Amino acid sequence: MEDKKLQHQAKTRVLFVCMGNICRSPSAEGVFRHVLARHGVADCYEVDSAGTHAYHVGEPPDSRARQAAARRGISLDGQRARKVRAEDFARQDLILAMDQSNLEDLQAVCPPEYQNKLKKMLDFGSAGGDVPDPYYGGNDGFEHVLNLLEDACESLLHHLEGERTGG
């Protein structure tokens, strides 16, 4: 009986957000999908990413982000940059900004009734603070971002599974 109840639960929707949606947020989306698959709960979640700005709409993730993720067995394939849309605030269950600046950008356009859905990515995990933007740095920056995201995504899943299953 408990299994049937879980099967009929709505999927939890998570949106990861950075500025241009080509480095940090698509990496977070890929890492979280990887974590969900590893834990066998991918069917319980809907995962997406977006940017607060439209600089790169339609572009795939940065090649350095794709390469760094691929070295860890994480795929960013099929992702294309998009800008956060007004309907995202109502549709998503949780919207995770990669840094304080993007959180403030989201807060400025988010309707008051959905402000509680906005959090920073590193509110989960052990690092705290912001996920640094690796765009203008070297490959080490992308590796560092993935380290932060892997830790935060594990903690995020633990948190969400506790809410989803009531435990």
Given a contact cutoff of 8 angstroms between Cβ atoms, the answer to whether 36 and 45 are in contact is: yes
Given a contact cutoff of 8 angstroms between Cβ atoms, the answer to whether 98 and 84 are in contact is: no
Give Rg (Cα) of the chain: 15
Annotated active-site positions, please? 18, 24, 133
As a whole number of angstroms, the distance between CA 110 and CA 112 comes to: 6
The candidate with the shortest Cα–Cα distance to 145, out of 127, 167, 119, 120, is 127
